[in-house]
């Protein structure tokens, strides 16, 4: 089993909808989590970090962490075509592990 | 925000030659730098972690004699792909962190270097 698993998608949502991206992880990477967005041919850019159970909101983005169930999710509200990208989940316990990424397409 | 640059942004070389990629933190001191490789439609794969002034720690399966990493200062790390072959063609990305404990520190990614080996 991979240490960080993501549904590779692709995920397609209409413009204005909520996009939900999920990531599960093993105990080994259970300290802190980061969500990155990566446009095709570009390097990743950090969207959110989350360390504690619960929700963390930043603009249209909400990260949710549930350590008991070992999952972390990213919600994108009011999705825009410019949100179309691959979203990478990273688990970090001083030992980084990335998920395979979920490709999101937001259709106008 | 913190900025990380990479040079070159792309390079094409002949098989058997060596290629050096530079990674610089422009406005902060990077205690730790990371080197990743990403093949098309695949996730980032961590190759190695380097701390300034010490030897890099390589991930399992990454040949340290082929991928030479030097982190000589707090703002510069280099990756040299020695005797490059077509299978080394990939997108190489560096990132930098201000602290040695990366579990809660943000990584700042460079723009990446696309290497094509003919």
**Which chain B residue's Cα is nearest to A44?**
B109
Minimum distance, in Å, between the CA of residue A12 and any CA atom of chain B: 17
Kindly report the CA angle at A8 between B49 and B63, in degrees rounded to 5?
Answer: 30
Alpha carbons B117 and B84: distance in angstroms, whole number: 7
Kindly list the residues from chain B whose CB atom is less than 8 angstroms away from the CB atom of residue A100: 42-43
Q: How far is CA A3 from CA A6, B9, B58, B105, in A?
A: 10, 31, 18, 20
List the beta strands (DSSP E) in A1-108.
4-6, 11-14, 19-25, 32-38, 45-50, 54-58, 61-66, 71-76, 85-92, 96-98, 102-107
Distance of CA B5 to the CA centre of its chain: 11
Per-residue confidence (pLDDT) for residue A1, from 0 to 100: 56
| Whole-number Å distance between alpha carbons of B7 and B15 | 20
pLDDT (tens, 9 = 90+) of chain A, 108 residues, equals: 568 888 777 899 999 999 999 999 887 667 789 999 999 889 999 999 999 999 999 999 999 999 889 999 999 999 999 999 999 998 887 667 788 899 999 999
Closest residue of A to B32, CA-based? Answer: A94
Per-residue pLDDT at B107:
83
B102 touches A: beta carbon within 8 Å: yes
Asked if B106 has any chain A CB less than 8 Å from its own CB, the reply is yes
Interface test with B, best of A21, A65, A88, A96 (most B CBs within 10 A): A96
| Residue B100 pLDDT | 63
If we measure between CA atoms, which residue out of B73, B80, B99, B106 comes closest to residue B22? Answer: B80
CB contact under 8 A, A96 and B108: no
Residue of A nearest to B4 (CA): A43
Query: Smallest Cβ distance to B102: which of A43, A46, A94?
Result: A94
pLDDT, tens digit (0-9, with 9 covering 90-100), for B29-85:
988 899 999 988 788 889 999 988 788 999 999 999 999 999 888 899 999 999 999
Cβ contact, residue pair A96, B102, below 8 Å: yes
* 3-class DSSP string for chain B: CCCEEEECCEEEECCCCCEEEEEEECCCCCCEEEEEEECCCCCCEEEEEEECCCCCEECCCCCCCCEEEEEEECCEEEEEECCCCHHHCEEEEEEEECCCCCCCCCCEECCCEEEEEC
Q: Which of B97, B99, B104 is nearest to B46 (CA)?
A: B97
B51 interfaces chain A, CB cutoff of 8 Å: no
Q: With CB atoms and an 8 Å threshold, state whether A46 touches B108.
A: yes
User: What is the rounded CA–CA span in Å between residue A15 and residue A22?
Assistant: 19
Contact A32 B103 (CB under 8 A): yes
């Amino acid at each position: 089993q991979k240490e960080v698993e993501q549904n590779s998608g692709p995920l397609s949502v209409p413009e204005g909808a909520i996009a939900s991206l999920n990531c599960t992880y093993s105990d080994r990477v259970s300290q802190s989590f980061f969500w990155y967005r990566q446009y095709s041919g570009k390097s990743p850019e950090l969207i959110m970090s989350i360390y504690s159970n619960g929700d963390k909101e930043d603009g249209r983005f909400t990260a949710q962490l549930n350590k008991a169930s070992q999952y972390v999710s990213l919600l994108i509200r009011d999705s825009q075509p410019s949100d179309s990208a691959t979203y990478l989940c990273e688990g970090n316990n001083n030992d980084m592990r990335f998920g395979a990424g979920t490709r999101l397409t937001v259709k106008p | 925000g913190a900025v990380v640059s990479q040079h070159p942004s792309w390079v094409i070389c002949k098989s058997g030659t060596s290629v050096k990629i530079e990674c610089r933190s422009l406005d902060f001191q990077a205690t730790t730098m990371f080197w990743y490789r990403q093949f098309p439609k695949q996730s980032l794969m961590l190759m190695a972690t380097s701390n300034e002034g010490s030897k890099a720690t390589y991930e399992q399966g990454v040949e340290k004699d082929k991928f030479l990493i030097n982190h000589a200062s707090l703002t510069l790390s280099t990756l040299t792909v020695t005797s490059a072959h077509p299978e080394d063609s990939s997108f190489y990305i560096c990132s930098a962190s201000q602290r040695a404990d990366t579990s809660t520190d943000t990584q700042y990614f460079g723009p990446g270097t696309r290497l094509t080996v003919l």
